[in-house]
């Protein structure tokens, strides 16, 4: 499969919503897991592993390695989303990515997935997203992204249990 030049879901050039969502929305979902960060990172820290554990995704494919790699997330609904890995820090157990193509009415989307140590043998997964709404976006868009992140963190809690 060859990737083409693609653009984000909404048009940031024509402006973003400036009404009640004037501040750039930021969503954060967390889950505490009874595994040390190294073990958990080795299982779920690959950029494309989200396709293995997120219930809303059919699969995820990665093209390339390290910063600049692309991830194509194939949703259960049949839509695809393309993301670009911007930062990968295995030592700190985190990666940051930007959205390159989505059906969501957002632009300037940046996500972060990280695993923090919590005590001797537990970890906290922190998955966050920050973005602008395009003129077509509204509170439903924000809630949709929150539900997506929440479904992912809940899936990991179900997979590994809670401390």
pLDDT in tens, the chain (163 residues): 333 333 445 456 555 545 544 578 999 999 999 999 999 999 999 999 999 999 999 999 999 999 999 999 999 999 999 999 999 999 999 999 999 999 999 999 999 999 999 988 999 999 999 999 999 999 999 999 999 999 999 999 999 998 8
Answer whether 155's CB lies under 8 Å from 44's CB: no
Global pTM reads 0.87
Domains annotated for the chain, with CATH where assigned, are 26-160 (3.30.530.20)
- 3-state class percentages of the chain: helix first, strand second, coil last, to nearest 5: 20, 40, 40
Among 19, 23, 14, 9, smallest CA distance to 98 is for 9
């Amino acid at each position: 499969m060859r990737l083409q030049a693609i653009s984000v879901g909404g048009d940031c050039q024509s402006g973003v919503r400036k009404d009640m969502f004037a501040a750039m929305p930021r969503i954060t979902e967390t889950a505490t897991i009874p595994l040390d960060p190294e073990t958990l990172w080795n299982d779920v820290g690959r950029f494309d592993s989200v396709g293995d554990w997120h219930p809303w995704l059919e699969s995820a494919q990665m093209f390339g390695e390290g910063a600049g790699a692309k991830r194509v997330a194939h949703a259960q609904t049949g839509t695809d989303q393309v993301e670009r890995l911007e930062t990968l820090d295995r030592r700190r157990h985190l990666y940051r990515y930007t959205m390159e193509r989505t059906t969501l009415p957002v632009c300037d989307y940046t996500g972060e997935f990280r695993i923090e140590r919590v005590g001797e043998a537990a970890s906290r997964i922190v998955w966050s997203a920050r973005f602008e709404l395009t003129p077509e976006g509204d509170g439903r868009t924000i809630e949709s992204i929150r539900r997506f992140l929440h479904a992912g963190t809940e899936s990991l809690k179900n997979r590994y249990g809670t401390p």
